[in-house]
Structure 1
Amino acid sequence: MNSLSIVQNYLNRISSANNETVRKEYFSNYLNQAFGKSEDARAIINDFAAGAERKVLNISKKHRGG
């Protein structure tokens, strides 16, 4: 599945979702399809799926350019 079809599939599914829990599940699936090849991304996605919506990445200022 290519990137465009992953996004189109997500948009089609999310528009028919009738509650926040379903939307969250679709979003988590989308993230896994789009970025799941990266081990770091999978860890963040898994945190999100487990309920860590408020997680903020700890990126040091030297890596942010500040």
Structure 2
Amino acid sequence: MITQEFKKLTLVTKKEGLEADLSTLFGKSVSTILPESGKEVTLKEAVIQGFLSSDRVDPNGVRILN
């Protein structure tokens, strides 16, 4: 059985403060979710350990890396 695990997610947000919100939500620092500022809220990149294919881009433009 192949176990898949998120190693990094890059999220684009309109406002600053995602790190603080995630720390409050989970009760600790979340270093695997990286925010970037932008005009739209979107998932930009996902790094997944154990994902069967790597260096792909989904139909929404999200880069998927292994």
- TM-score where L is the length of structure 1: 0.31
Structure with the bigger percentage of strand: 2
Structure with the bigger percentage of helix: 1
